[in-house]
Amino acid sequence: MKKVQVLGSGCPKCEETAANAKAAAAAVGVEIKIEKVKKPAEIAKLGVLFTPGLAIEGEVKVSGRVPTVDEIKPWLTKAS
């Protein structure tokens, strides 16, 4: 099971990011556990200045925009 973190306040774009991660995981057959990181200090520790952000297994993949389902798929299938 991969740890996926959605970084942001819980705004609609953050929710869309979480939904896209779930859809990508279902499409590639990978189990994920989504953790929503809402505290600005915790988000900053990951080096993210703009939300929404997405981190997989602790590695920030994108920040400041909503990643697409197709964009997320290869991030989930790479060995970590």
Indicate which residues carry an active-site annotation.
Answer: 11, 14
Helices 69-77 and 12-28, packing angle to 10 deg: 50
Is residue 79 very low, low, confident or very high in pLDDT (cuts 50, 70, 90)?
low
CA 24 – CA 75 distance, rounded (Å): 9
Confidence of residue 60 (pLDDT cuts 50, 70, 90): very high
Q: Is the pLDDT of residue 26 over 70?
A: yes
Instruction: Please report, rounded to a whole number, the percentage of residues in the chain having pLDDT higher than 70.
Output: 98
What is the number of helices (H) and of strands (E) in the chain?
3, 4
Residue 48 sits in a domain whose CATH number is: 3.40.30.10
Q: Which residue has the tokens 């939904």?
A: 19
- The domain of 38 spans 2-76
Tally of domains within the chain = 1
Say whether pLDDT at 37 is over 60: yes
